[in-house]
Copies of this chain bind each other. A is one copy, B any other.
Amino acid sequence: MPDDNRLLAESLYEQFSRIGKALASPKRLELLYMLGQGERSVEALAKATDSPVANISQHLQVLRRARLVETRRTGARIWYRLAGPAVSNLVVSLQAVAEQRLAEVGQIARTFLNDADALEPVDREELLRRVRDGSVTVLDVRPHTEYGEGRLPRALSVPLEELTARLAEVPRNREVVAYCRGPYCVLALKAVEILRANGYRALRLDLGVVEWRSRGWQLEI
């Protein structure tokens, strides 16, 4: 019976490690994070990660064998999506542990985002409260297609490239909060620069739809 328990543990952890192994590659983690934003084709994922299609297809097979993603076919194109919100949560909590435990992550963020408190802005929870109760103007600066797949409640869609031309649409009397794809996305940082240069009170929200959803909050559309 002790041997029996050993066998149980070994079979079980063997299975659990299938999920772990799927999370063991940087490319696959990036794919999972992207899929957390919405369904994508193999080609789109390959372009976004700047990798050969065959390579991305391989990684997607690995994720599919671990049942972390599912597929849907339309014509010759195959669309990948996360197998459920639990998968997205798992990736977010892995990233959270990495941020918490690995000093290197903060170092990289500071280097690339040129922002001392890029990862932990002074009062994120307070900011989130105001985003949720609608007392600030929320700006989604991602491309229109991503906005269409899901966005923070009441967010306005003004992609970064259009921001300068469409400033008139952004009310001047209220504080503006810009967000994009997540804590490591630079679009919102640049949007805040532009807004401030034009006299707005503007802040960056350092999370995206993936993190929003993983807090258990609803997205719009």
Q: Which residues of A contact B (CB under 8 A)?
A: 4-21, 23-30, 49-50, 66-68, 83-84, 86-87, 89-90, 93-98, 100-102, 104-105, 108-109, 112-113, 184, 186
**How far is B24's CA from A15's CA once the two chains are assembled, in angstroms?**
11
CA distance A6 to B27 in the complex (A): 12
In the complex, chain B residues whose CB is within 8 Å of the CB of A9: 30, 49, 184
Oligomeric state, in copies: 2
Contacting pair B97 A12 (CB below 8 A) = no
Distance of A142 from chain B, by nearest CB (Å): 13
Known contacts A84-B100, A101-B68: does B26 contact A16 (CB below 8 Å)?
Answer: yes
A20 vs B102: C-alpha distance when bound (angstroms): 13
Q: Does the CB pair A29–B6 fall under 8 Å? A: no
Q: Would you call the interface of chain A mostly helix, strand, loop, or mixed?
A: helix
The reply to whether B94 and A18 contact each other, CB–CB distance below 8 Å, is no
Contacts of A7 on B, CB cut-off 8 Å?
A: 112
> When chains A and B are docked, how far (Å) is the Cα of A104 from the Cα of B19?
12
User: In the assembly, what is the distance between CA of A15 and CA of B13, in Å?
Assistant: 24
Contact B97 A90 (CB under 8 A): yes
Instruction: Name the B residues within 8 Å of A101 (CB-CB).
Output: 19, 66-68, 83-84, 86-87
Do B97 and A87 have beta carbons less than 8 Å apart?
yes
Given contacts A8-B108, A84-B100, A112-B8, contact A27 B13 (CB under 8 A): yes
Distance, CA A66 to CA B27, complexed state (A): 18
Closest CB in chain B relative to A100 CB, distance in Å = 6
Q: A86 to B90, Cβ gap below 8 A?
A: no
Closest to A100 in B: B86
**Known contacts A17-B29, A25-B17; A86/B95 CB under 8 A:** no
Q: Which residues of B contact A113 (CB under 8 A)?
A: 8
